[in-house]
């Protein structure tokens, strides 16, 4: 956890800002790489979780690949040290320009979500004289038991190819000159802490492997997606990588030629980032005291959008205990980070750390109310 001293050494930067703990990030990456290496797995970082350049460079430095969902993410991944052969391109609505850019960049594989998309990738690849490797995103109908906005693998979700359309997608991908069918892709949701969800996913993947085998289709890429959650009530804890990878290592009926890909976002950067904000006012409400802070939903939207819990700590003061509702300055009733939480006696000028904000924090910031975007600082930056 950042201390007031850690923050002050930056000579009072303009709050709010994201504080990234480099040591925590490196420890997380070491755990991911060593636990996944036990099974020869390939881990791609889901860039959407955090596209801060330094974070990206650090992750590339640990040898992970990149899972991108836009042409701009591919460009940034290339700029920050990821090799084209380690980049996959996912997303339900890839534009022609983005597909063209990905083909020109010679990325490893497109994760495709519909027959219509396969047709466009094929046309563009043929026109440019190349062949696109594709994995088909299959909707596995496995419930992630997480917030409905971040559940993706159940029926009627906009993501993935339905079982009814799979036959057609496989035939098209196998018969088109501009496409090479490499494999299948899954992703059931995000912030998944019940690891049984991944056990269910493995069962489903094995069924699909048999399905491909029975049709005589050769595939060598199995992309199991991401989704491993983090413990928001214990922001200093690493995610349970050992158990997570063991599930896939023991349950997947894998053949020697199969490459197993993961696309983890939150589990890689989530615990390394805190949003640091300053208390502007203490204000008495009818049934609660408000700590009005200078960060708002524009800096970290997760509590407002998903009712997400982020632990909040007062890093200036540790005396006493009072309950506060911590709210931001944005003109929306939803601009509240936490209601009625115990904090030390808090005063104007105190710094609060909103923890576990290293994924889907900085990247989802907006300029609503014409607010400035939050800055970022790394724990090892020169004083
Ligand atoms: N692969 C695909 C195809 C995805 O859609 C996602 C996340 C990931 C991988 C990475 O998932 P992760 O390992 O980070 O759970 N803004 C939301 C989360 C949206 C996740 C979208 N897809 C939040 O703040 O909770």
In the reported structure, the alpha carbon of residue 226 is separated from the centroid of ligand 1 by a whole-number distance in angstroms of 7
CA of 268 to the centre of ligand 1 (A): 12
pLDDT in tens, 205-259: 999 999 999 999 999 999 999 999 999 999 999 999 999 999 999 999 999 999 9
pLDDT at 6 over 80: no
Pocket lined around ligand 1, Cβ cut-off 6 Å: 46, 49, 67, 90, 150, 152, 187, 190-191, 225-228, 263-267, 302, 306, 359-360
Residue 265 CA, ligand 1 centroid: distance in Å? 6
| Residue 333 in this model has a pLDDT that exceeds 60 | yes
How high is the pLDDT of residue 383? 47
Q: What is the pTM of this model?
A: 0.94
Residue with tokens 């850019």: 101
Q: What is the pLDDT of residues 55-111, one digit of tens each?
A: 999 999 999 999 999 999 999 999 999 999 999 999 999 999 999 999 999 999 999
Distance CA 135, CA 167 (A): 14
pLDDT per residue over 163-184, tens digit each?
889 999 999 999 999 999 999 9
Tokens of 182: 């490499």
Residue 298 Cα, ligand 1 centroid: separation in angstroms? 19
Dist. CA 70–CA 94, nearest whole Å = 7
């Amino acid at each position: 956890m950042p201390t007031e001293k850690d923050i002050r050494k930056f000579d009072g930067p303009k709050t709010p800002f994201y504080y990234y703990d480099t040591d925590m990030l490196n420890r997380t990456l070491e755990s991911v790489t060593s636990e996944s290496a036990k099974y020869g797995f390939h881990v791609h970082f889901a860039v959407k979780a955090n596209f801060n350049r330094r974070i990206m460079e650090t992750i590339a430095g640990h040898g992970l690949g990149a899972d991108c969902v836009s042409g701009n993410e591919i460009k940034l991944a290339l700029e920050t040290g990821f090799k084209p052969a380690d980049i996959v391109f996912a997303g339900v609505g890839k534009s022609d320009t983005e597909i063209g850019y990905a083909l020109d960049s010679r990325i490893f594989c497109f994760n495709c979500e519909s027959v219509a998309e396969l047709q466009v990738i094929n046309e563009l690849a043929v026109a440019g004289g190349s062949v696109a490797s594709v994995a088909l995103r299959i909707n596995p109908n496995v419930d992630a038991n997480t917030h409905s906005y971040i559940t993706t693998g159940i029926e009627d979700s906009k993501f993935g190819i339905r079982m009814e359309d799979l036959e057609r997608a496989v035939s098209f991908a196998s018969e088109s000159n501009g496409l090479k069918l490499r494999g299948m892709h899954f992703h059931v949701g995000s912030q998944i802490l019940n690891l049984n969800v991944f056990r269910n996913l493995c069962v489903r993947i094995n069924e699909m492997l048999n399905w491909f085998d029975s049709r005589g289709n050769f595939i060598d890429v199995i992309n199991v997606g991401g989704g491993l959650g983090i413990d928001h009530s214990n922001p200093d804890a690493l995610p349970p990588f050992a158990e997570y990878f063991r599930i896939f290592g023991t349950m997947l009926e894998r053949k020697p030629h199969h490459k197993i890909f993961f696309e983890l976002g939150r589990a890689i950067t989530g615990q390394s980032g805190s949003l640091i904000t300053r208390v502007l006012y203490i204000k008495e409400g009818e049934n609660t005291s408000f700590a009005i802070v200078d960060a708002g939903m524009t800096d970290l939207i997760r509590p407002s959008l998903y009712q997400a819990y982020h632990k909040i700590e007062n890093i200036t003061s540790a005396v006493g205990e009072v309950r506060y509702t911590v709210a931001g300055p944005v003109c929306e009733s939803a601009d509240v980070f936490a209601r009625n939480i115990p904090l030390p006696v808090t005063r104007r000028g105190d710094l609060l750390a909103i923890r576990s904000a290293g994924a889907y924090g900085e990247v989802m910031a907006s300029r609503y109310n014409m607010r400035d975007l939050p800055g970022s600082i790394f724990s090892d930056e020169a004083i």
